[in-house]
Amino acid sequence: MSNIQVLNAVTGYQEIMYAKGELEKTGTDFSEYKGKIANIMQTLHPKRIDLVVGHILQETPTTATIRLVSKHGHDLPAFQAGQYINLFLNVQGTYTARPYAIASSPLERQHYDLTIKKAEGGFVSHYLVDQVEVGKEFQSSGPMGSFHHNPLFHGDDLVFLAGGSGSVPARSMLLNILDQNLPQRLHLIYVNSFENDVIYAEELRELARLHDHFTLTEYITRPTAEYQGETGRLSHERLAALLGTNPENKMFYICGPTPFNQSCQQLLVNLGVPARRIRVEANGAPKTPHHQQDWPSEILLAQEVTVTVKGKGQFKTTVGEPLLNSLERNGFFVENACRSGECSLCRVKLISGEVFNPDEAHLRKSDRNFGWIYSCVAFPLSDIEVLI
Ligand code: FES
């Protein structure tokens, strides 16, 4: 059977060809639109953005805000306040990527500000804060992520619970709302270990002074003797007092280190806040997967295992290193974005062996059934073979 015979047998094909012929008679040719639509899609949802560092601001001794502008001089793609971009980098010969929340307001399309805090034991954040200079070029993904304020569904009473650099997406959401004089009531409850850890300190205090509907509450958990403000951690009593009556009607955005996120989530649940009113920003692979409930107690994080990449090679790593990190360190590229088990871009197929999927891995049932794992949050418990 010829191709045209096959197409003619497809239901609706002849009707479509007839309609197309009629449109062409009136001068409308769909092929005119092909390139245009692709260009619009590329502008709105680019796979990669070419960026260059335009400015760097040291925020605290361990934190810097890097302003990225378009390498081609045009506006950057729109984003929702609270979203992130995945920054692709080459650090000491290792091609890797890290998702960073955009700190600036989506009203400012000429730049994305990324506020980066040096992570303990991390190497990418240290490279970005200590070594990157103005003029350095990067590529990133388009803006992504579901941790953002939705004006249609989230109501007018918003509470941000931020720990450390968790204030970054909160800042973007606050600026977006305050700069437009929108009516939402805003409360940022911001917890830091030390006084000099507080990012955007003066800016946030000034915003709270200027806007009656924005409240800022700060806590320092390990203060110096001179510190005059509130100290200690968030407790049930404290949070209940801060939130007042009917906390279940507010919308909560939690972002900070994993233990902070878990503790805030539990405090809110105990105060009767329904799960649908709590948004928690994903926070990378767990640092202590062996503390999770289903971790096999006989397996140590430092144990050595072999990873075989089918048809491509083999390397050694340790149980405690997320598979995506070890693949990258050994020169194997896997597409990725959230690095937190949410977006599924880093899927690889597990051919043999066993991996630990922590709570953070939001594996779809079909992935689980067919042996796909999310490499960014997968920990190899034995020698494994994967297909990438
Ligand atoms: S990078 Fe998103 S799930 Fe792994």
The CATH number that applies at residue 71 is: 2.40.30.10
Instruction: Tell me how far apart the alpha carbons of residues 54 and 51 are, in angstroms, rounded to a whole number.
Output: 9
Asked if the model's pLDDT at residue 28 lies above 70, the reply is no
Pair (166, 266) in one structural domain: yes
Q: Does any ligand 1 atom lie closer than 6 A to the CB of residue 343?
A: yes
Instruction: Provide the domain limits for residue 333.
Output: 292-387
User: Which token pair is 221?
Assistant: 């958990």
Quickly tell me which residue has 């569904």 as its tokens: 153
Whether 148 lines ligand 1, by a CB cut-off of 6 Å, is no
Ligand 1 center–CA 357 separation, angstroms: 12
pLDDT tens profile 254-304? 999 888 999 999 999 999 999 999 999 977 777 788 888 889 989 999 999
CA 297 to CA 291: how far, in whole Å?
A: 9
Q: What is the pLDDT of residue 27?
A: 65
Q: How confident is the model at residue 233 (pLDDT cuts 50, 70, 90)?
A: very high
pLDDT at residue 222, as a whole number: 96
CATH number at residue 209: 3.40.50.80
In a domain, 221, yes or no: yes
Do residue 271 and residue 198 come from a single domain?
Answer: yes
Q: Are residues 91 and 39 in the same domain?
A: no
The answer to whether position 54 is within a domain reads yes
- Gap from CA of 24 to ligand 1 centroid (Å): 45
**Ligand 1 atom closest to 335 (CA):** 1
| C-alpha dist (Å) from residue 90 to 98, 202, 319 | 11, 34, 24
**Structure confidence by residue, pLDDT tens digits, 236-259:** 999 999 999 999 999 999 999 888
Task: Please count the structural domains in the chain.
Answer: 4
User: Which residues, 6 or more positions from 328, have their beta carbon under 8 angstroms from its beta carbon?
Assistant: 94, 95, 96, 334
Same domain, 232 and 312: no
Q: Quote the ligand 1 centre to 356 CA distance (angstroms).
A: 15
- 119-149: per-residue pLDDT in tens? 887 889 999 999 999 999 999 999 999 899 8
Residues 27 and 69 occupy one common structural domain: no
Q: Which atom of ligand 1 is nearest to the CA of 337?
A: 1
